[in-house]
Structure formats: structure tokens, C-alpha cells
């Protein structure tokens, strides 16, 4: 299969999918804050604009990190879910959080998830991934 990417380096190819600031923050909010709707993502303290959010959600859906379904409770709303590929990003997001906790001026409150995942190690990450699969994939 031919690729249109400039480099086939696995790090480059991964960064093509989620290497911008906003994509990782959307994934973070889904994993740790349970956000699933457009308006919920807009309320992030980092202040993403609606046009950037629309673009990043579309890109994450296009790459298969997220899925988008109609919200049965409201015709104009959609529900975003992590796919198995998106759930596989939990260890990556965890390691970024651990690094940030170690090297940046974080608050105790903001670093609680990273601290818990660092302390709990792989076992806690697997448990959290199982919870994400249940919430986003119906347990599959």
C-alpha cells in the first residue's frame, strides 16, 4: 500500500494522527473527564475554539482514533467515542502526564490522574483500558 506521508518513520506517522496539542487534549478529556459531546470539549480550561475543535474531531474520526454517532436524545448532537485504536493511546497519554508531572510546575489536583497511573503501573492502566472499552465500545 503506497503512503502519501513524507516519512514512514513510526514516530512521524503517529504524530501525523495525534501530534498536535488539541488532539491529545481531546483524547485526554475523553479518557479522564468522560467528555463525549462537542460542547463538553469546548468547556476545557485550555479554551479550544469551535473551528479548531471541529477540525481536530474530524481528523481523529478520519484516522480511526474516534468514532462519531448520532445522539439519540437530540437530532443535532453527536456522541464521540474512543475506538480500540484510541484506547491504545492510554499508555502514551499516561507517560506524557508522568513526564509533565516530573518536569513542569503542575498542581497536585491537576496531576492526580498521572500520579495514580504512575503508582498503579501497568495493572491500573489495563483496568482503566477495560473501563474505557466498556464505556466507549460496550465492553468489546
Q: Report the number of distinct structural domains present in the chain.
A: 1
- Average pLDDT of span 20-37: 95
Please report the pLDDT score of residue 7 as a whole number.
Answer: 85
CB of 100 within 8 A of CB of 84? no
Please choose, from the candidates 97, 101, 65, 96, the residue with its C-alpha nearest in 3D space to the C-alpha of residue 81.
65
- Strand, coil or helix: 58: helix
Please report the pLDDT score of residue 112 as a whole number.
Answer: 86
- The CATH number of whichever domain residue 46 belongs to comes to 1.10.10.10
Indicate the pLDDT class of residue 140, thresholds 50, 70 and 90: low
Quote the pTM value.
0.87
Domain of residue 49 covers: 10-137
Please choose, from the candidates 32, 44, 34, the residue with its C-alpha nearest in 3D space to the C-alpha of residue 124.
32
Question: What pLDDT, in 10s, does the model give residues 69-93?
Answer: 998 888 889 999 999 999 999 999 9
48/114: higher pLDDT: 48
Amino acid at each position: 500500500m503506497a503512503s502519501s506521508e513524507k516519512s514512514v518513520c513510526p514516530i512521524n506517522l503517529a504524530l501525523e494522527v495525534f501530534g498536535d496539542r488539541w488532539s491529545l487534549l481531546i483524547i485526554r478529556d475523553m479518557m479522564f473527564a468522560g467528555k463525549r459531546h462537542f460542547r463538553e470539549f469546548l468547556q476545557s480550561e485550555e479554551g479550544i475554539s469551535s473551528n479548531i475543535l471541529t477540525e481536530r474531531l474530524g481528523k481523529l474520526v478520519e484516522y480511526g482514533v474516534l468514532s462519531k454517532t448520532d445522539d439519540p436524545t437530540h437530532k443535532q448532537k453527536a456522541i464521540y467515542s474512543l475506538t480500540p485504536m484510541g484506547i491504545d493511546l492510554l499508555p502514551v497519554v499516561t507517560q506524557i502526564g508522568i513526564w509533565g508531572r516530573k518536569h513542569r510546575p503542575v498542581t497536585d489536583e491537576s496531576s492526580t490522574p498521572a500520579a495514580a497511573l504512575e503508582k498503579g503501573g501497568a495493572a491500573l492502566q489495563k483496568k482503566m483500558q477495560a473501563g474505557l472499552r466498556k464505556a466507549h465500545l460496550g465492553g468489546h
